[in-house]
């Protein structure tokens, strides 16, 4: 099965917020790297 290509937007506020609009997933982290790690986990759980 081919992995989908999704777009993630990262916004900086009090924390970094990562949004994947295609699947309506949102996550956050104290750093950009943490926000990316967390959104990857959210996307993975969505497709499980």
Residue 2 belongs to a domain:
no
Residue 29 lies in a domain: yes
For 11-40, letters b (16+ CB in 10 Å) and e give: eeeeebbbbbeeeebebbbeeeeebbebbe
Q: How many domains does the chain have?
A: 1
> What range defines the domain where residue 29 resides?
9-47
Q: For residues 46 and 2, which has the higher predicted lDDT (pLDDT)?
A: 46
Mean pLDDT of the chain: 94
Residue 13 in any domain: the answer is yes
Is residue 22 one of the residues assigned to a domain?
yes
Instruction: Record the pTM.
Output: 0.86
pLDDT tens, 2-34? 777 899 999 999 999 999 999 999 999 999 999
Residue 3 domain flag: no
């Amino acid at each position: 099965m081919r992995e989908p290509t999704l777009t993630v937007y990262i916004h900086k506020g009090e924390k970094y917020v990562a949004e994947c609009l295609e699947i309506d997933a949102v996550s956050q982290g104290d750093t950009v790297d943490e926000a990316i790690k967390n959104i990857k986990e959210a996307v993975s759980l969505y497709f499980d």
